[in-house]
């Protein structure tokens, strides 16, 4: 059973197909081509476009939530750009819909400039830009892939931690190395001393339940970062000054 966030791509493709189709049908009707068939098909194309945009927005909110715990450090700027492009596309869709309703009410003789096709092209351009950024978020970082946090840095960082554990390296030392920007990459969001940057401070330690609740289905799934791995990282966090939890 797919997670709802994984339906974001399908919803976006519906919008990408329906919007230019609607723009073409709308333009044909306004120049008097296609007859009754075009006039009958146009509302269905508009309905598909609106449904696609709405579904993209709803599923996109779930992906946005995942991005906040999956994108490390400054990579989160991708999520911010993606989000605001989505807002712009939604606003343009409202403009296009309003103009379409107005054009249907006119007598068909005195037409304003073809606003809808132009706006539709802008929407397609916005969705294309979103698609590129969304592809980077998904393919480079795994955003939107539920239980799919097996990314390059996570895998490499976990492998190094497993080697340290297998060679009986001191737990605190191994945990510090894993927490660093070159290890699991925790420091990219939480700071080198867990003081908090884009993400909250962790100095003083955390419970494994808190860790799994935030990262368990994204960046650090249990199949890659085990409870023993977490314990090593947490052992180092507990050496830092900060409020302790779970004592």
% of the chain beyond a pLDDT of 90: 29
pLDDT digits (tens, 9 = 90+) for 17-76: 888 888 888 878 878 888 899 889 988 998 898 898 888 888 888 888 778 877 887 788
Q: What angle do CA 163, 169, 170 make, to 5 degrees?
A: 140
pLDDT at position 112: 54
What confidence tier does 128 reach under pLDDT thresholds 50, 70, 90?
A: confident
CA-closest candidate to residue 90, choices 161, 15, 151: 15
Give the largest CA-CA distance in the chain.
83
**Cα–Cα distance between 64 and 5 in angstroms, integer?**
9
Mean pLDDT estimate for the chain: 84
Burial of 201 (0-12, 13-18, 19+ CB in 10 A): middle
- 97 contact partners, CB below 8 Å, separation of at least 6: 46, 50
Contact 162, 229 (CB under 8 A): yes
List the one residue out of 161, 176, 246, 177 whose CA is nearest residue 205. 246
pTM: 0.65
Q: What number of other Cβ atoms are within 10 A of residue 22's Cβ? A: 27
CA distance 186 to 169: 20
Residue 111 scores a pLDDT above 60: no
Q: What percent of the chain has pLDDT over 70?
A: 89
Q: Is the pLDDT reported for residue 2 higher than 90?
A: no
Tell which wins on pLDDT, 108 or 68: 68
Q: Give 247's pLDDT tier (boundaries 50, 70, 90).
A: very low
**Mean pLDDT to the nearest integer, 191-213:** 92
CA gap 61, 50 in Å, rounded: 17
Q: What are phi and psi of 201, to 5 degrees?
A: -70, 145
pLDDT band at 239 (very low <50, low <70, confident <90, very high): very high
Chain CA centroid to CA 32, Å: 42
Task: Match 């989505």 to its residue by tokens.
Answer: 86
* DSSP code string of 200-216: ---TT---HHHHHHHHT
């Amino acid at each position: 059973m797919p997670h709802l966030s994984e339906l974001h791509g399908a919803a976006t493709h519906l919008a990408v197909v329906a919007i230019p189709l609607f723009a073409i049908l709308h333009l044909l009707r306004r120049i008097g081509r296609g007859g009754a068939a075009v006039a009958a098909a146009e509302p269905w194309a508009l309905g598909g476009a609106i449904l696609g945009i709405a579904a993209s927005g709803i599923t996109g909110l779930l992906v946005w939530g995942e991005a906040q715990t999956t994108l490390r450090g400054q990579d989160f700027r991708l999520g911010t750009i993606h989000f605001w492009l989505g807002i712009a596309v939604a606003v343009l869709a409202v403009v296009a819909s309003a103009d379409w309703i107005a054009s249907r009410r006119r007598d068909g003789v005195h037409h304003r400039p073809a606003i809808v096709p132009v706006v539709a092209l802008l929407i397609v351009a916005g969705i294309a830009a979103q698609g590129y950024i969304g592809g980077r978020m998904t393919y480079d970082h795994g955003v939107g892939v539920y239980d799919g946090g097996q990314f390059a840095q996570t895998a490499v960082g976990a492998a190094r931690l497993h080697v340290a554990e297998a060679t009986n390296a001191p737990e605190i030392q191994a945990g510090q190395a894993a927490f660093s920007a070159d290890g699991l990459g925790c420091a990219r969001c939480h700071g080198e001393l867990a003081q908090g940057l884009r993400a909250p401070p962790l100095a003083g330690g955390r419970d494994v339940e808190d860790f799994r609740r935030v990262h368990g289905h994204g960046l650090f799934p249990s199949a890659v970062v085990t409870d023993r791995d977490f314990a090593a990282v947490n052992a180092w966090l507990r050496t830092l000054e900060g409020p302790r939890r779970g004592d």
